[in-house]
Structure 1
Amino acid sequence: MASITIRNVPDEVHRALRVRAAMHGRSTEAEIRDILEKAAKPEGRVKLGSLLAAIGREARLTDEDAERFEQLRDKTPAKPMKFE
């Protein structure tokens, strides 16, 4: 798991984080992890599969359309990258 160092946190912000952590019954570090996780991965975020399904519904694509796309898709394996 990665570690992050945050410098120059104002004293009043650090104090508020400690109070907030105490109110939730956890360490300041655990509180900050929770805040970062909620900010980076909000509950209401749209996942790619859900987004694509919604686009398909909006476009009124049928199963037959999806099968046709699959037939047209290039199935040639991708060539590996060369970094030489």
Structure 2
Amino acid sequence: MPTAKPWSDLGLDIEEPPSLLPSREGAFEQLTGEQQMQILGPGRYTAYVNGTFPMDEWSVVRSTPGWRDSYGVAPAPQSGGRVSRNAA
């Protein structure tokens, strides 16, 4: 959803009101586990729940010569979302 520039970018010294939009984390956390799994798929969901697949890793940049970059769905972690027994 587009947002307007902050007042300071418009040269005004006015306090910014708090955002009315939820954060991506807040919006995702409001979903049920079933809804989260429908979005991520089983492997990515398991990895997310285990803490091995943070939101910042959910998409990857794809580059093709002659075209602009695009974003796609990142593959599930190699571990299949399981926490390694050797992890600290």
TM-score band, normalised by shorter chain: under 0.3
Larger helix proportion, structure 1 or 2? Answer: 1
Q: Which has the higher contact order (CA 8 A, sep 6+)?
A: 2
- Could you state the TM-score of these two structures normalised by the residue count of structure 2? 0.26
| Higher CA-based Rg | 1
